[in-house]
Structure 1
Amino acid sequence: MDIKQLHYFVTVCDQLSYSKAAQKLHISQPSLSNAIKNLEREVGSPLLERNTRKIELTDAGKILYEKSILLLSNMNMLKKEMDEVRLTGNGELIIGIIESVKYWIPKVIREYQGRFPSINFKLIEVLGGRAVKESLRKYHTHMLITNQYICEEDIELLSLYDERLVLVLHKDHPLAQKETVALKELESEPFIISTEGFQTREDILRAFSLEQVSPNIKFEIERFETALTLVRENLGITIIPENYLSEPNDASLVWKTMDSPALKRTVYLAFMKNRYLAPAVQAFLEDIRRSFATKSRFPLV
């Protein structure tokens, strides 16, 4: 039994078709069939039952499939780590980010590239809590900057800074003329909020709960830009991180801080505890750490 055989077996299971699996693997169907038969002989038990309609896994096949998925995943992660062992100044750095880091992360990258000019960056948005954990565990990203609070044994979570959550509304909205706005005044307003699974949603709902009021949720979104688009049309109001508004203000929008200590969120740096990080990757992680060690190098707006 070897890795190639297990890869063939898993592909047949996923495709539930020898012909489709053979096409995906770029081998002939007879070669694939023989490989599975050889695997069954080694295991000493049938793994797949094939009738005129479909392929089904036997009990032994189900066990081998589950174990093979884990083994192949670990082998893939090991290969990635080995590929990165000698990475010191060349290669790719993949970072998961949230929207509001745009005001500071280019500054860190600019300083970093002075030492590692050949590194290419891939910045991808990773937003929900489940997506954050999956991205790290499947090695889709080297590290993540996130506001998701994660308490897992295999994931390191470092607090970088806190940022305020502010009220954003259309300039023609009646509340736009007030100097201060209380959460109780928002109870009947059409409210725009992140979908379930996003930490910012939980932070906002907790703030409302502390005031013993509930928002009138009209729209659920995944990106703050979508929320602002809705506010521009005066379809509702929203609460988003202040740093997302750090660029010149849109004339149609008004934003206000609110008298609620709960309306803030923490931004974290997350990475796998036991994953090998190449020198170039480790250097960028340390650059981020140093940038917020005193909370003053890249001051919040």
Structure 2
Amino acid sequence: MELKQLNYFVSVVNHMSFSKAAEKLHISQPSLSKAIKNLERDLGFQIIERNTRNIRLTEAGEVLYSRAIHLLSEMTIVKKEMEEVKLVGKGELQIGMIESVKYWLPKVISRYNEKFSDMHIRLTEVLGGDNVKTSLRKYETHAIITNQQIKEVDIETVPLYKEKLVLVLHESHLMAKKESITLKELESEPFIISTKGFQTREDILHAFELEDTIPTVKYEIERFETALSLVSENLGIALIPENYLQGRHDFSIVSKTIESPALERTVYLAYMKNRYVSPSIEAFIKEVKLFFEYIASR
């Protein structure tokens, strides 16, 4: 049994067609059929049942497919690790992030570029907890800055800092000039909140629950930028991370701190524990940690 045979087998299953798989693999259909038959001969049992209209996996084929997917994924990771072994100052750094890190991440990158100016840096938003785990395990990212505390044996999650979720509302809003506001006062306001699956949404709903109240959700969004656009038109109110407001100059938006232990979150740096990374990538992870160690010591 060879890796090429497993790759062919997985492709056939994914496409549920020999002809489509052959086209994707850039080989002839007879060659693909022969490779699968040779794999079955080597294994000693049938893994795919064929008829003129479709194909389906045998029980043994289902077991082999799940194992093959895992093995091929691991081989892809090994290949990427080997590509990085000799990289010291060149290559690609893949970083996942949440929106609110935009105020400090450029500072870290600026310091990092002083040592590794030839690195190509790719920044992508990775938001949900499952997305964080998948992205790291599939080697789509080397490290992720997230508000999700990932509790997995293969993933290191380092707390960086805490930040509050603050209320944002239009300057003309009746509550804009109040010194203190409770969540109970907000229950009838048109509320802007993240869609399901976002940790920020869960934190906000939990905070309202602790006050024995429920917000009137009018808008569901995926980006804080959208929330602020709605607030700037006085269409609703929102709770967003305080750091997201740093550097903004929209004076029509007012922010207020609401006293609630639930309206505070921790931001983490997450990365795989036992995966090889090049010195240049390891240096970025260290740079992020040092940045917040320095801030904490001041």
TM-score by length of 2: 0.96
- Which segment is superposed worse, 244-253 or 10-19? 244-253
**CA–CA separation in structure 2 for the residues paired with 1:253 and 1:148:** 28
Q: Is the 8 A contact 1:130 1:197 kept in 2?
A: no
State how 1:35-54 maps to structure 2 within 5 Å: 35-54=35-54
- Which segment is superposed worse, 116-125 or 201-210? 201-210
How far apart are residue 233 of structure 1 and its match? 2.5
Deviations 1:106-131 (A, max 9, x none): 11111111111111100000011111
Q: Which residue of 2 aligns with 1:144?
A: 144
State how 1:84-123 maps to structure 2 within 5 Å: 84-123=84-123
Q: Is the 8 A contact 1:164 1:264 kept in 2?
A: yes
- Which segment is superposed worse, 89-98 or 286-295? 286-295
The alignment partner of 2:284 has SS state of helix
**CA–CA separation in structure 1 for the residues paired with 2:24 and 2:30:** 14
Q: Which residue of 2 aligns with 1:237?
A: 237
The alignment partner of 2:111 has SS state of helix
Q: Is the 8 A contact 1:161 1:295 kept in 2?
A: no
Deviations 1:60-88 (A, max 9, x none): 21111111111111111111111111111
How far apart are residue 296 of structure 1 and its match? 4.5
**Equivalent AA in structure 2 for residue 246 of structure 1:** Q
Q: Is the 8 A contact 1:149 1:199 kept in 2?
A: no
How far apart are residue 25 of structure 1 and its match? 0.3
Q: Which residue of 2 aligns with 1:224?
A: 224
CA RMSD in angstroms comes to: 1.4
How far apart are residue 294 of structure 1 and its match? 3.9
**CA–CA separation in structure 2 for the residues paired with 1:131 and 1:248:** 29
**CA–CA separation in structure 2 for the residues paired with 1:258 and 1:281:** 39
**Equivalent AA in structure 1 for residue 172 of structure 2:** D
How far apart are residue 218 of structure 1 and its match? 1.9
**CA–CA separation in structure 2 for the residues paired with 1:124 and 1:253:** 27
The alignment partner of 1:162 has SS state of strand
**CA–CA separation in structure 2 for the residues paired with 1:268 and 1:147:** 6
Structure 1: gaps (5+ residues): none
**CA–CA separation in structure 2 for the residues paired with 1:49 and 1:152:** 38
The alignment partner of 2:293 has SS state of coil
Structure 2: gaps (5+ residues): none
- Which segment is superposed worse, 169-178 or 117-126? 169-178
**CA–CA separation in structure 2 for the residues paired with 1:60 and 1:274:** 32
How far apart are residue 283 of structure 1 and its match? 0.6
**CA–CA separation in structure 1 for the residues paired with 2:99 and 2:148:** 13
**CA–CA separation in structure 1 for the residues paired with 2:140 and 2:31:** 32
Deviations 1:229-267 (A, max 9, x none): 222232211000011111233132111112223311111
**CA–CA separation in structure 1 for the residues paired with 2:47 and 2:286:** 48
The alignment partner of 1:152 has SS state of coil
**CA–CA separation in structure 1 for the residues paired with 2:144 and 2:186:** 33
The alignment partner of 2:209 has SS state of helix
- Which segment is superposed worse, 116-125 or 226-235? 226-235
How far apart are residue 53 of structure 1 and its match? 1.7
State how 1:118-267 maps to structure 2 within 5 Å: 118-267=118-267
**CA–CA separation in structure 2 for the residues paired with 1:179 and 1:66:** 58
- Which segment is superposed worse, 239-248 or 253-262? 253-262
Number of residues of Structure 1 aligned to a counterpart in Structure 2: 298
Deviations 1:124-172 (A, max 9, x none): 0001111111111111100000011111111101010011111011222
The alignment partner of 2:247 has SS state of coil
**CA–CA separation in structure 2 for the residues paired with 1:205 and 1:165:** 12
The alignment partner of 1:78 has SS state of helix
Q: Is the 8 A contact 1:97 1:145 kept in 2?
A: yes
TM-score by length of 1: 0.95
**CA–CA separation in structure 1 for the residues paired with 2:275 and 2:229:** 40
**Equivalent AA in structure 2 for residue 198 of structure 1:** F
**Equivalent AA in structure 2 for residue 33 of structure 1:** S
**CA–CA separation in structure 2 for the residues paired with 1:158 and 1:59:** 42
Is 1:61 equivalent to 2:61 in the alignment?
Answer: yes
Q: Which residue of 2 aligns with 1:71?
A: 71
- Which segment is superposed worse, 78-87 or 214-223? 214-223
**CA–CA separation in structure 1 for the residues paired with 2:143 and 2:66:** 28
